[in-house]
Structure 1
Amino acid sequence: MAKVKTAMMKAAMSGLYHTGAHRLLAPYTQGVGVIFTLHHVRPAPAAPKEFAPNRILEVTPEFLSSVLDQVADAGLDVISLDDAVTRLESGDEKRFVCFTFDDGYRDNRQYAYPIFKQRGLPFTLYVPTDYPDGHGDLWWQALEEIVSRAQDEIVLCRQGETWRLPAATDAEKNRAFEEVYWWLRGLDDVVQREVVRKLADGYGIDLSAECRDEVMGWDEIRTMAADPLVTIGAHTKHHYAIAKLPEAKAMEEMVGSADRIAEELGTRPVHFAFPYGDPGSAGPRDFKLAEEAGFKTAVTTRKGMLFADHRQHLTALPRVSLNGDYQSLTYTALYLSGAPFALWNGFQHVNAA
């Protein structure tokens, strides 16, 4: 199903691009800027796998460099989130792009940072503080490994009943991953992690070791934070979906992550990213909580461009994902026009409800 949706989306976007409609719409849809979100930046595997559901979270260094070239050719400035706020609040209409990276993966330092450093361009790194402490759960990555190792089927307990999903072929594995992933996303986050840990134990997967391998430790983050080009933002403590938490727990996740970063780096972050960031993970209550927690901005993954109206909604900012399945400058040209998101959002500038 996910592959079918991706194919349909690519066809629709290609049609939009080749008709030139995005260029006609751009004066009305491009806004004043865009915030791009990324996760992994690393070389493509020598032998791509048919079953790789988390591939959407990866782009290559070459693609990232080409996007930066495209942004420069389009005449947009790459600026920090602090400067983005200044521009929004002052009414500056010079268009800009911000680049943000979620979760603090080690490949960000190895592959992405040198690209930005060479060009003298800023970016923001959002850190869920349990991860550099070595206690994080990259549960979506563990789930991919679990399904990959399954020989015939995945067996789960769901609502007290045994749930069996075929997982012998790549097609079955893709279907099984998608079904289990979205079921897990609907669970209480503590229960979700318990389910994945139990499954991981059965397949000999050490989630804590996996986190330590993939994510930077505090010393590495501290080295990056010493560069004025790098802004460190908060991303909760446990990477929980804020909207699913009681208010006091939600505030604890946000404030606690900022406290931990301040303790390690000596500077308290003023920028925050909601884990997952979709409407089911961050809503109006949570945008207000982020402001009360003292954050200057908070970003979501609601698709959209930045408009002047966003100066009144700085803790509900949209972002556009540089998705591993869409590594083409055709798609990023569409993104910079804002046309796909205007169509998606019914041409409303702010989606903060």
Structure 2
Amino acid sequence: MSLRHKAFSAAFRVMAATGADRWGRGFAQGRGMILTLHHVRPWRETGFAPNRLLEITPDFLDLALGLIREEGYDLVSLDEALVRLGDVKPGRFFVALTFDDGYRDNLDHAWPVLAKHGVPWTLFVTPGFADRTARLWWLELEEAIRVLPRFSLDLPGGGFLARTETDREKQLAFATLYWRLRKEPEAILLSAISELTRQVGIDAAALVERECLPWETLRSLSGAPGVTIGAHTLSHPMLAKHPQDVARREIVESKARLEAELGLPIRHFAYPVGDPNSAGPREFGLAQEAGFASAVTTRPGHLFEPHARHLHALPRVSLNGHHQSEEAVRALLSGLPFLLWNRGRKVNVG
């Protein structure tokens, strides 16, 4: 766990000890919130797990949903969240659950917990993952560094050299290279990771096959009660890094492809990665033009009344694998961490 996440854990504990997670709700809590999840699966002991923040256990999901119910909050669909957000007279605080990418473990381990609590949920699907043509490049990077004892890459601005014999060295190399590549055009990022996977013989398509749901399962899932399918672009690019015509095609055609494959309207969209460097005002406008009722980012925050005028730039709250505790859930429900993170701004759409 990084120093940043250790600081968050400490802050959650302080909030719980001082009662800030309760008294802060009066001014920090919005009308509701949308949760972001990726993987849900049993804990796997491994020293090197740089993508651990993207996975939680079924037990933690069960704990989180139980706490939400215990607080008297409503667990609602994304469609219902939009209705409540636009209501002139606010009702009870609500929570909507969304899952990004379309992973197999969402069905194997998340769905039984969701069914137990009677919770509707939205699955944002990338057709390229169902086709096995898009790349889980962050997982490719993890798997390559896991195998390599050392490596070097030629990159713009100078080469990258790392010794990766121990878990600590692997973690440092992953974090350093990940954020360096995130600053580059996506073509450079993908090319660099392809070079590493080539060195160790990793099959990128096989990783997607292992992790992501196939079309036949998605077709069956799309008609299930309480399940909403949303779009997550064709190939999972960081849209803001690409020309407008590319971004528009990724957004528009992901909707069309899913509707053709699943035979139902696709009303909601999630921006891949979803931070300000991956989705901004241009992308918000493109999602609206494409006819989506809403589009969600990963900008952290609760939903406030003004968000009803920015339905294609909605914030979400991550259930993070580094913070699987009751203190963390109560802090997230309070809204206080996001008011501090956003420096008092309730709406951040710039």
Q: What TM bracket, shorter-length normalisation?
A: over 0.9
Q: Say if 1:100 and 1:125, in contact at 8 Å, map to a contact too.
A: yes
- The equivalent of 2:31 in structure 1 is 32
- The equivalent of 2:6 in structure 1 is 7
2:121 pairs with one of 120, 123, 128: 123
**By how many angstroms is 1:168 displaced?**
1.7
- The equivalent of 2:60 in structure 1 is 63
Inter-partner Cα distance in structure 2 for 1:253 and 1:137: 15
| Structure 1 residue identity aligned to 2:134 | G
**By how many angstroms is 1:25 displaced?**
1.5
Matched, 1:98 2:84: no
- The equivalent of 1:139 in structure 2 is 137
Matched, 1:218 2:176: no
Q: Say if 2:65 and 2:117, in contact at 8 Å, map to a contact too.
A: no
Matched, 1:261 2:258: yes
1:307 pairs with one of 291, 294, 304: 304
For this pair of structures, how many residues does the alignment match?
A: 349
Matched, 1:193 2:215: no
Q: Secondary structure in 2 aligned to 1:6?
A: helix
Higher deviation after alignment, 89-98 or 188-197 = 188-197
Runs of 4+, deviation exceeding 4 Å: none
- The equivalent of 1:85 in structure 2 is 82
Higher deviation after alignment, 187-196 or 199-208 = 187-196
1:297 pairs with one of 294, 319, 330: 294
Q: Secondary structure in 2 aligned to 1:124?
A: strand
Q: Secondary structure in 2 aligned to 1:300?
A: strand
Unaligned runs of 5+ in 1: none
Inter-partner Cα distance in structure 2 for 1:17 and 1:161: 46
Q: Secondary structure in 2 aligned to 1:277?
A: coil
Deviation string for 1:199-224 (max 9, x for gaps)? 10111100001101110001111111
Deviation string for 1:251-291 (max 9, x for gaps)? 10001111110111011311000000111111111111111
Inter-partner Cα distance in structure 2 for 1:7 and 1:116: 29
Q: Secondary structure in 2 aligned to 1:158?
A: coil
Q: Secondary structure in 2 aligned to 1:250?
A: helix
**By how many angstroms is 1:94 displaced?**
1.8
| Structure 2 residue identity aligned to 1:155 | S
- The equivalent of 2:231 in structure 1 is 234
Q: Secondary structure in 2 aligned to 1:132?
A: helix
- The equivalent of 1:16 in structure 2 is 15
| Structure 2 residue identity aligned to 1:306 | L
Q: Say if 1:259 and 1:268, in contact at 8 Å, map to a contact too.
A: no
| Structure 2 residue identity aligned to 1:157 | D
Unaligned runs of 5+ in 2: none
Q: Secondary structure in 1 aligned to 2:311?
A: coil
| Structure 2 residue identity aligned to 1:93 | G
**By how many angstroms is 1:145 displaced?**
0.9
Higher deviation after alignment, 118-127 or 4-13 = 4-13
| Structure 2 residue identity aligned to 1:322 | L
Q: Secondary structure in 1 aligned to 2:213?
A: coil
- The equivalent of 1:150 in structure 2 is 148
- The equivalent of 2:107 in structure 1 is 109
Inter-partner Cα distance in structure 2 for 1:160 and 1:320: 35
Inter-partner Cα distance in structure 1 for 2:70 and 2:64: 10
Q: Secondary structure in 1 aligned to 2:315?
A: coil
Q: Say if 1:37 and 1:102, in contact at 8 Å, map to a contact too.
A: yes
Q: Say if 1:150 and 1:167, in contact at 8 Å, map to a contact too.
A: yes
Deviation string for 1:323-346 (max 9, x for gaps)? 111000110000001011111112
- The equivalent of 2:274 in structure 1 is 277
**By how many angstroms is 1:161 displaced?**
4.5
**By how many angstroms is 1:14 displaced?**
1.6
Inter-partner Cα distance in structure 1 for 2:175 and 2:38: 19
Root mean square deviation of aligned Cα = 1.2
Q: Secondary structure in 2 aligned to 1:125?
A: strand
Inter-partner Cα distance in structure 1 for 2:3 and 2:55: 20
Output the TM-score relative to the length of structure 1. Answer: 0.96
| Percent of aligned positions that are identical | 44
Inter-partner Cα distance in structure 2 for 1:326 and 1:194: 33
Inter-partner Cα distance in structure 2 for 1:78 and 1:294: 26
| Structure 1 residue identity aligned to 2:162 | L
